[in-house]
């Protein structure tokens, strides 16, 4: 099935394109260019749409210092997945009361480390972890994560995180008994979730658990709605308003006007659309004289930035820099530069590009601000990790 030929102007303005082209021209490919202004705008839109929600930026999506500084100045809080991310934030002067430790998988030593640095908000989903929290983070506020199957998400989070509500009920009582503060519930509907109804189901489960533990004398205070808000990839999805309206409606339906504290953890949705990977055509070839599709090999692939194209899960918009060749279009298979066949980006989904494409032509891969450079391998096949530049700084 051919993919429809999309238009770069649905993603970037002509001014954006000129800026990137100008910024890029003397730099060796491949690299990522990040437009901070777009991140700032996305943050403002989300704040306006859910004004009562406290934003905890999921640092794992992109931990570039300039992004952290920008969001910190805008008043964002932060969610970290490890003590290394925690150290990065503290090193940038962000105070520990603006940081939540969201990874449910933690070593005792890491809990202790974070606690000693002032972290008092942790997410959990197991008896093992609650025992460690009680010992190493006494009196901390704990958020319990509900297991969620994430149907409809491009990048599902499956069963790895969270637990069944029945187990969480016991876990909340256990945490309370051990001197922790059962503070709230969290869930994550999956990254790049397309089905808005998934939030409804999750919020209902929160309501059920709020009530169930209240009967045991425990008053939960917070719901963490997680992330899952979309980025603008090839396959279209709803506008952000559709998500936030539905969430808002459902929260009020379940909790009336006495909403609990609301926390959200956007990552991808804040930073993805702000990134463009600039890559170069290394080779165009045929496998046999009769092949219908040529192969287009780029100097950026699965191992140096485009890991999320693995199994073609995320379909990035891909455009030739020289946009005046839109007349003679052909479908290509796209692959990365390494000696490894997992390093094929798109073979089931062909991409339509100019039939005249040739070596050294530059290609823009859009919406690549999240989960790209930080995923790069340290040096698979010797290739260095993807560089990242900030558009308005460097």
Based on CB atoms, which residue is closest to a second copy, 17 or 77? Answer: 77
Based on CB atoms, which residue is closest to a second copy, 159 or 252? Answer: 159
Answer for which of 34, 50, 59, 274 binds a second copy (CB under 8 A) is 59
Binding flags for a second copy, 137-176, as an x/- string (CB under 8 A)? ----------x-------xxxxxxxxxx-xx--x------
Answer for which of 102, 228, 275, 369 binds a second copy (CB under 8 A) is 102
Residues facing 163 on adjacent strands: 146
Stretch in the footprint of a second copy (CB under 8 A) among 40-48, 106-114, 202-210, 270-278:
106-114
CA 95 – CA 75 distance, rounded (Å): 12
Phi and psi dihedrals of 53, rounded to 5?
Answer: -90, 135
The nearest distance, CB 138 to a second copy, in angstroms, is 18
For residue 48, whether the previous peptide bond is cis, meaning omega lies within 30 degrees of 0, is no
Based on CB atoms, which residue is closest to a second copy, 118 or 384? Answer: 384
Residues between 183 and 202 that touch a second copy (CB under 8 A): none
CA 306 – CA 304 distance, rounded (Å): 6
Closest by CA to 168, choosing from 147, 137, 141, is 147
CA 352 – CA 325 distance, rounded (Å): 11
CA 116 – CA 389 distance, rounded (Å): 34
Answer for which of 56, 187, 233, 303 binds a second copy (CB under 8 A) is 303
Stretch in the footprint of a second copy (CB under 8 A) among 15-23, 39-47, 217-225, 372-380:
372-380
The nearest distance, CB 341 to a second copy, in angstroms, is 4
Tokens of 334: 């796209």
The nearest distance, CB 306 to a second copy, in angstroms, is 13
CA 352 – CA 360 distance, rounded (Å): 18
The nearest distance, CB 331 to a second copy, in angstroms, is 15
Q: Does 376 bind a second copy (CB under 8 A)?
A: yes
CA 366 – CA 275 distance, rounded (Å): 6
The nearest distance, CB 32 to a second copy, in angstroms, is 13
Burial category of 98 from C-beta neighbours within 10 Å (exposed 0-12, middle 13-18, buried 19 and up): middle
Answer for which of 16, 85, 248, 254 binds a second copy (CB under 8 A) is 85
* Total residues binding a second copy (CB under 8 A): 80
Residues between 279 and 298 that touch a second copy (CB under 8 A): 280, 282-289, 295, 297
CA 124 – CA 106 distance, rounded (Å): 9
Based on CB atoms, which residue is closest to a second copy, 6 or 385? Answer: 385
Answer for which of 107, 221, 235, 249 binds a second copy (CB under 8 A) is 107
CB atoms closer than 10 angstroms to residue 377: 16
Based on CB atoms, which residue is closest to a second copy, 255 or 380? Answer: 380
CB 224 within 8 A of CB 184: yes
Stretch in the footprint of a second copy (CB under 8 A) among 2-10, 57-65, 193-201, 245-253:
57-65
Based on CB atoms, which residue is closest to a second copy, 253 or 359? Answer: 359
CA 306 – CA 371 distance, rounded (Å): 8
Parallel, antiparallel or unpaired: strands 261-264 and 53-58: parallel
CA 311 – CA 346 distance, rounded (Å): 8
Based on CB atoms, which residue is closest to a second copy, 51 or 382? Answer: 382
Residues between 306 and 365 that touch a second copy (CB under 8 A): 307, 310-311, 335, 337-344, 347, 359-360
CA 60 – CA 191 distance, rounded (Å): 12
């Amino acid at each position: 099935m051919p993919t429809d030929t999309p238009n770069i102007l649905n993603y970037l303005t002509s001014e954006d394109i000129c800026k990137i082209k100008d910024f890029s021209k003397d730099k060796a490919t491949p690299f990522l260019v990040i437009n901070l202004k777009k991140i700032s705008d996305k943050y403002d839109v989300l704040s306006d749409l859910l004004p009562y929600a406290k934003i905890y930026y999921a640092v794992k999506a992109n931990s570039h210092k300039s992004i952290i500084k920008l969001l910190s100045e805008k008043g964002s809080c932060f969610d970290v997945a490890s003590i290394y991310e925690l150290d990065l934030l503290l090193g940038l002067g962000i105070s520990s009361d603006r940081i939540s430790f969201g990874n449910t998988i933690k070593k005792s030593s890491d809990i202790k480390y974070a606690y000693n640095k002032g972290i008092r908000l942790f997410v959990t989903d197991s008896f093992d972890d609650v025992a460690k929290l009680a010992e190493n983070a006494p009196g901390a506020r704990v958020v319990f994560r509900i297991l969620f199957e994430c149907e409809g998400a491009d990048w599902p989070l499956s069963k790895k995180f969270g637990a069944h509500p029945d187990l969480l009920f016991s876990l909340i009582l256990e945490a309370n008994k051990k001197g922790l503060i059962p503070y709230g519930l969290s869930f994550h509907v999956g990254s790049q979730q397309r089905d808005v109804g998934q939030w409804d189901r999750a919020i209902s489960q929160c309501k059920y658990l709020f009530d169930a533990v209240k009967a045991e004398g425990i008053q939960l205070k917070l719901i963490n709605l997680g992330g899952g808000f979309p980025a603008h990839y090839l396959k279209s999805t709803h506008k952000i308003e559709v998500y936030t309206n539905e969430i808002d409606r459902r929260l009020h339906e379940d909790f009336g006007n006495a909403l609990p504290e609301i926390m959200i953890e956007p990552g991808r949705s804040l930073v993805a659309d702000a990134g463009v990977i600039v890559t170069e055509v290394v080779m165009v070839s045929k496998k046999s004289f009769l092949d219908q599709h040529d192969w287009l090999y780029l100097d950026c692939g699965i191992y140096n930035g485009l890991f999320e194209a693995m199994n073609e899960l995320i379909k990035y918009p891909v455009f030739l820099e020289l946009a005046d060749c839109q007349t003679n279009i052909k479908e290509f298979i796209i692959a990365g530069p390494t000696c490894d066949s997992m390093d094929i980006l798109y073979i089931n989904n062909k991409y339509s590009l100019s039939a005249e494409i040739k070596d050294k032509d530059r290609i823009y891969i859009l919406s690549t601000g999240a989960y790209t450079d930080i995923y790069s391998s340290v040096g698979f096949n010797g290739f260095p990790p993807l560089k990242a530049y900030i558009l308005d700084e460097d």
